[in-house]
């Protein structure tokens, strides 16, 4: 896509964090925005900020893990805006627990939102994007889609899956006019840790302190997403630690143990 002016973007998980920042950046770039989330108050605030930038906004209460709700979202967005050009599959949740102690219901909760939400958002909007011959799908993976960390098995599993799914989809869509980007943020100051399910509240407190003091604002990711869409960039790395992990995994995989050690204390 050569410009975002006059386009329509859908952002899941748009009530806060990376989702809200992306919605606002795309609005600043000239997009009308459809905001999808389960947090109605947060969506309304994002919509107010989009409108303050002179763009149209619609809000859609959607559980992205439900196929029927995501199918309805496609129809509702087209009814509200007439078309869609950009789909940002951002909604995500986390659980902090060892594999041995992990509740399977929690594992399914993470997979439903983090992975199936991306699959539904990509597949169900895809026919209309291909039909119009122009569009872009942005799927939010993570630095945890590059490296596995203790107590993050469910989150890592889904983010690795998002990475593989997105790379395959991009290859399939060559020549269609529809681009695809996999986004890999590192530490970003959002509420995902506060809302995560932790077995140990002390670990939550340590993680919250880390994310509040040693991470980048969501706008850093949003700015990168905007550029990636316009450049048709297949993969976007955000934050220094993501570049370090990516490089180590390529040239010295055994050294990633040192990186894992840096994060391990957050979970103990």
Quick count: other Cβ atoms within 10 Å of Cβ 73? 24
Going through the chain in order, the beta strands assigned E by DSSP cover 8-12, 32-37, 57-61, 86-89, 95-96, 135-140, 178-185, 197-198, 235-238
Burial of 72 (0-12, 13-18, 19+ CB in 10 A): middle
Torsion of CA 89, 77, 128, 52, to 10 degrees: -70
DSSP 33: E
Which residues share a beta bridge with 19?
none
Among 67, 64, 81, 65, which residue's Cα sits nearest to residue 8? 81
Q: Which of 116, 155, 160, 211 is catalytic?
A: 155
Distance CA 138, CA 148 (A): 22
CB neighbours of 47 closer than 8 A, spacing ≥ 6? Answer: 33, 35, 57, 58, 59
Query: For this structure, is 155 an active site residue?
Result: yes
- Which active-site residues does the annotation give? 155
């Amino acid at each position: 896509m050569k410009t975002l002016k006059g386009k329509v973007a859908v952002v899941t998980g748009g009530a806060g964090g990376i989702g809200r920042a992306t919605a606002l950046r795309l609005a600043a770039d000239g997009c009308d925005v459809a905001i999808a989330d389960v947090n109605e108050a947060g969506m309304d605030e994002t919509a107010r900020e989009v409108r303050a930038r002179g763009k149209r906004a619609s809000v859609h209460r959607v559980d992205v893990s439900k196929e029927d709700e995501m199918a309805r979202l496609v129809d509702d967005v087209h009814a509200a805006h007439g078309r869609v050009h950009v789909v940002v599959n951002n909604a995500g949740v986390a659980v902090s627990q060892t594999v041995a102690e992990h509740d399977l219901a929690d594992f399914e909760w993470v997979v439903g939102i983090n992975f199936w939400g991306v699959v539904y958002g990509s597949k169900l909007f895809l026919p209309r994007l291909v039909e119009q011959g122009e569009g872009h799908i942005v799927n939010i993976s993570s630095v945890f889609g590059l490296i596995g960390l203790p107590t993050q098995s469910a989150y890592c599993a889904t983010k690795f899956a998002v990475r593989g799914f997105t790379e395959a989809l991009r290859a399939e869509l060559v020549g269609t006019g529809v681009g695809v980007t996999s986004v890999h943020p590192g530490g970003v100051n959002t509420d995902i840790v506060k809302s995560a399910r932790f077995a140990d509240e002390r670990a939550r407190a340590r993680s919250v302190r880390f994310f509040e003091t040693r991470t980048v604002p969501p706008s850093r990711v949003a700015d990168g997403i905007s550029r990636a869409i316009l450049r048709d960039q297949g993969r976007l790395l955000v934050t220094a630690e993501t570049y370090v992990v990516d490089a180590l995994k390529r040239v010295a995989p055994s050294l990633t143990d040192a990186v894992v050690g840096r994060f391990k204390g957050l979970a103990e």
